[in-house]
Copies of this chain bind each other. A is one copy, B any other.
């Protein structure tokens, strides 16, 4: 498969290849069978692999995740879909009290190699409950790996890696980017899924983004370049664990950082990014790490979502607030405090 591929297609191909490679992989959830999922990410899988490998279950998210726990206990590698972000909430207890803890509870005797796919985020004009960004809930929960791809290649590679992972993975799919295209050759292996990557190099500011906001961040960086500001864009990819090395190295070099996400800012994931980069890079920072996030309101109705979502303009505004007039010459590198 070479040529133009969308994120949705890349994810579909990853599932197909995973099903073909390993008989212990099963895919199920709501409408993932004949319909192929409401976003068609599971399109054709039932036809190709049969009802035993890709199928529709009763409509109950706790039941879906809970049965997947049992399958994984047995040794299967279930990949389940939550149809939309807010519809993963009924499964919250199963995820937090079991998926995240079973390995630890049993001293590693029961691993849960399972993947919970969640299309997340807004920007598609959807009505209430169809545009939440739930990453902070999952990232705060030890025992889960939480990853989110931003490009078709990463979608393919990270999903394959998630399915192969011995740990349970919450796999967050930026739904507004399902149709994002890339020239790619599949199968492909990109960076390991627990690594951040630099998507664009720059010297003046580090812009940290993930999932749906990576594209927006790159646009902002391009716009800033025209105004003479050189922005380095870091795609975090793995929200938990966090790749300190990549992010902190960039911030130490640029001395300024902005983190961007769609979720409400308050107690959001960006707070962790800002807090830990400040801990690790304090004396390199010319200004506080700023956050450009969704407003601290419930996700708005479609006509207002543009006001909620971080935009290129808001990111550029944040750059302007990075206290450029205050640049000091770098102090001799002090010992940094541990994370």
Contact = CB atoms under 8 A, between A and B. Distances in A.
A97 interface: yes
A266 B97 contact: no
A86 interface: yes
Interface string A111-150: 0000000000000000011000000110110110000000
A288 B282 contact: yes
A147 to B, nearest CB: 14
Nearest to A336: B288
A287 to B, nearest CB: 7
Contacts of A288: 278-279, 282, 337
B267 A136 contact: yes
A266 B274 contact: no
A326 interface: yes
A272 B265 CA distance: 9
B337 A298 contact: no
A282 B287 contact: yes
A171 interface: no
Contact of A275 (B264, B271, B285, B297): B271
Contact of A97 (B89, B100, B136, B290): B89
A240 to B, nearest CB: 7
Interface in A276-314: 276, 278-279, 282, 285, 287-291, 296-298
Contacts of A291: 275, 279
